[in-house]
Amino acid sequence: MRQWGDRHAVPSGPPLELMHRDCGHISHDVMTCSACGKPIGPKDVQALPGPGAAEPPADRRLADAVLDQGLQNALALLSAGQQR
Ligand SMILES: [Zn+2]
């Protein structure tokens, strides 16, 4: 049973999850919603504490900061590509 536990136990889930505001599902893709497939931007997602979040207030601020920076960079790359 020790080995089974070692292989299957997940110490903590993802520290944050992204909820697609339009459909309310948790999305695992930053640029498109993994639930409904729609493209999503910074205003379309909401950072929520995931199963691995120890302290929601602190993780929420970190999640928001990471999400904001990550999406800003991703969208900057996308818009740069589209302007070619
Ligand atoms: Zn969705």
pLDDT, tens digit, 9 for 90 and up, residues 40-58: 776 777 888 888 877 655 5
**Encoding tokens for residue 69?**
């920076």
Averaged confidence pLDDT in the chain:
71
Task: Give the span between the Cα atoms of 73 and 42, in whole angstroms.
Answer: 11
Q: How far is the CA of 28 from the centre of ligand 1 (A)?
A: 10
Residue of 49, 50, 18, 22 lying closest to 36 (CA atoms): 22
CB within 5 A of ion ligand 1: which residues? Answer: 20, 23, 33, 35-36
Ligand 1 centroid distance, CA of 46 (Å)? 11
Whole-prediction pTM: 0.26
pLDDT of residue 82: 60
Query: Is 60 exceeded by the pLDDT of residue 9?
Result: no
pLDDT tens by residue, 59-75 = 666 667 777 767 666 66
C-alpha 31 to ligand 1 mean position (Å) = 11
pLDDT value for 5: 47
